[in-house]
Structure 1
């Protein structure tokens, strides 16, 4: 296997001029993009050595733990309760169509049997098994697509030098060869995409921002897409597409997409917003979109984090994302024993129960013709518009409810999605639409209307 990895990387390097060509996605890749936009909902998993400490995935950096002190923690990582099929059954019950799991987070720990390092779950833990292989096989059995999150930055690797914004307290020598580090990263990606894990739906990169020039005082006025080092993105992206042409590449860099990327993601924010503070430089491109957020506050397991969002909040986020033509990737941090906490599991099942009833209005849709409003959003399929009333305005004394910005639905036949009851409507003078709505369950998360006709 080691020789195969070297051969794969060498072949791409020998063909490096290919990487400099304008990226043209293959028919398989374009079909995968279409599937991705139809899928609408995935589950995100942050799991690794950091889970043992139960204080989130950034614990090594936040608590200034050195490499020498961090490595022994792997000896305590023994997820004997991990059951990939049980995970997949839960994710299917949640209504998810795909799964994205951390293959390697910023601590550099590989959650598979890497051949280019022993800093991995097989060689360094008492568990000694490849969890990515188990999950890949289970996802195939349960008809779930599998993406690998992969951190570009690395707090442990000696050749990740110069240091970026993070990892300054890991106790590494102040020297290294960044090109050697990128070679190492590409070798690991070759392992993940070389066939042992089957068809990989995509690679979800994170960490480019660690070297973004504008985040350093001496280069604070640099262009937003400039970095202090050469990530060799063209080469890495060409490698991925060469090994698996249908694999989708996305990067959590918070800027306009780079050539070679296939989807664009937004962290803790809907596209076009910056409430989370990660997207001041984000520019929405022409690629499929995805937003990611957590069920509670942390990405990796944090035993003290009880800020779980309600099912209503999570469904609302999913619906608003769909209204903006984006997927929702909803994160849960598995516990160090390999199980998923009861509250997070309950929230996932709650989302699934809603999708069992209203999935038609989400799966396979695109963002509707009406811009997001205080009352909600619209999603659409050919010939049909779904009007999601997440915050139903109060009716006036005559029973009319005004939907701001929805005037273009005037003249279309309107009915309630659940039950099919016809809804009377009339256009307002200000571009609004007034509707007479039936009595609704006060506990309902979302009243959905269906608009048809021209």
Structure 2
């Protein structure tokens, strides 16, 4: 019986509940609340996945997918020398596209740090490039008026003190020693402290990899983990160092106390096209992250780039769902964006000059996305984003405004006929095309 009890305790210890009862209450600072409001107003960011994995041209998961041993993967340090990289140009291109913040991968699952860290020898200063890329991009964001967010992987395929023996990935990289999990937690605290004290104002920390210590995503998955992530300690550290820094975690589950925004991977909130977003939409600020082709990190054979219409539908669809769009770029190992990325960003920049007022400073409409499109709104205005032309008039019940003073197309002020009777709005959808994929109708309302 005694042996049975000991075994039961050991088994139960493998699963650490993330139930809210174990966390202390989190009260965000006033500056944090103001930062959340900025985040929701500004709607559009650039995600950048770039690192040693870019050299191999097979995505950011190449170490795991090809089971590359650590001793072999480490050789990539000697090849990383992005002679064409120019931080000013990257930030300027994001700004010209209408993006207002950049989320930079500082350390991905392969464990390589893109900054001059004192807590790992596996970092950018040991490459031929030998310059702090995080500093270069952060400095340019500050100069050009964009906010900087740092992506940081909780998961590590290289360190032996990461609990790889309980995790779902990184089994084939050659680790045999089982290090001390507490050492790994301290290592992350040390690195996060560097990121939050050496690079000026940091507007957000974007965590990933928490799911590695959880069962596979499914509608029945419980919010339990195989290890104690000490996650609230990490969140508390961040908020102590920079109280207005927004914390998000791509764990594909209900937000944990201490988080300031909720993200959805490859999905608009409320949808689950990719089998990762079973979580409910929370009251926190929301963000959709997506890719401009089919890959996060540079993938040599991935030529499936999104059209302008697909790009616009993602941005407008996210805004209509009260969310931001974080659109990913996977730069080439030489430090350049591939030309289709440049073309897509330029086209979006042109589009946003005309339609930006229907995106920035708005909140999602009183109904969610419909077959024809969706709604954004701000004080005194409702924007009907027509993404698909319907043959019959659209009717919207329970329209929340009593009077429509005027209705017109945003692009050229052409008047549009709409009817509002007993709280039901009806209108004909204008035509949309590949060149003009979102026919925005502006309703000035009372």
2:413 counterpart of 1:416 = no
1:41-56 paired onto structure 2 within 5 Å = 41-56=44-59
Please state how far the C-alpha of 1:411 moved relative to its aligned partner.
Answer: 4.7
Matched, 1:403 2:394: yes
- C-alpha separation in 1, matches of 2:309 and 2:376: 18
Tell me the secondary structure at the aligned position of residue 386 of structure 1.
strand
Could you report, residue by residue, the CA deviation over 1:151-187 in whole angstroms, capped at 9, with x for unpaired residues? 0000001101243100000101241211111110111
Deviates more, 1:442-451 or 1:365-374: 442-451
Contact 2:235 2:247 survives alignment (8 Å): yes
Contact 2:209 2:251 in 1 (8 A): yes
Cα shift at 1:74: 1.3
Q: Aligned match of 2:134 in 132, 135, 152?
A: 132
Match of 1:295 among 292, 306, 309: 292
| Residues 390, 445 of structure 1: 8 Å contact kept | yes
- Distance, in Å, in 2 between the alignment partners of 1:322 and 1:187 is 36
Say if 2:173 is the partner of 1:170: yes
| Residue 239 of structure 1, aligned match among 218, 237, 240 | 237
- Structure 1: gaps (5+ residues): 1-18, 395-400
Q: Is the 8 A contact 1:94 1:351 kept in 2?
A: yes
TM-score by length of 1: 0.89
Question: 1:216-227 residue pairs with structure 2 within 5 A?
Answer: 224-227=222-225
Matching residue of 1:88? 91
Q: Which residue is 1:390 aligned to? A: 387
Aligned to 1:142: 144
Cα distance, 1:80 vs. partner?
Answer: 1.4
The 3 A distance-change label for structure 1 pair 120 and 438 is closer
Q: Distance in 1 between matches of 2:227 and 2:68?
A: 25
CA distances 1:393-431 after superposition (whole Å, capped 9, x unpaired): 12xxxxxx51143662785232222232322223589x8
CA contact (8 A) 1:402 1:433 kept: no
In structure 2, how many angstroms separate the alpha carbons of the residues matched to 1:384 and 1:107?
A: 47
- Alpha-carbon distance in 2 for matches of 1:161, 1:370: 44
The answer as to 2:348 corresponding to 1:351 is yes
CA separation of 1:438 and 1:223: change in aligned 2, threshold 3 A? closer
State the partner residue of 1:109.
112
TM-score normalized by the length of structure 2? 0.90
1:230-251: CA deviation from partner (whole Å, max 9, x where unpaired):
0001100000000111100000
Equivalent residues of 2:316, 2:359 under 8 A apart = yes
How do 1:32-431 and structure 2 match up within 5 A? 32-123=35-126, 125-163=127-165, 164-194=167-197, 196-212=198-214, 214-215=215-216, 224-280=222-278, 282-394=279-391, 401-405=392-396, 408=399, 411-412=403-404, 413-426=406-419
Instruction: Give 1:432 shift.
Output: 6.2
Residue 222 to residue 434, structure 1, CA distance change in 2 (3 Å): closer
SS of the equivalent of 1:388 reads: strand
Aligned partners of 1:237 and 1:436: how far apart in 2? 49
- Contact 1:423–1:437 (8 Å) recurs in 2: no
Q: CA RMSD in A?
A: 2.1
Q: Give the equivalent residue in structure 2 for 1:12.
A: none
Distance 1:71 1:162 in 2: 18
Q: 1:370 to 1:185 in 2, by over 3 A?
A: same
By how many angstroms is 1:370 displaced? 2.9
* In structure 2, C-alpha distance between the alignment counterparts of 1:241 and 1:435, rounded to whole Å: 47
Aligned length: 422
1:451 paired with 2:414, answer no
Against the structure 1 CA distance between its residues 222 and 417, is the aligned structure 2 distance closer, same or farther, given a 3 Å change threshold?
closer
SS in structure 2 at match of 1:321:
helix
TM-superposed deviation, 1:347: 0.5
Deviations along 1:350-371, one digit per CA (max 9) or x if unpaired, are: 1111101110010010001233
Displacement, 1:446? Answer: 1.1
Measured after TM superposition, the shift of residue 284 of structure 1 is 1.3
Native 8 Å contact 1:373 1:404 kept in 2: no
Where in structure 2 are there 5+ consecutive unaligned residues? 1-21
Counterpart in the other structure of 2:13: none
Contact 2:389 2:430 in 1 (8 A): no
* Contact 1:295–1:308 under 8 Å retained in 2: yes
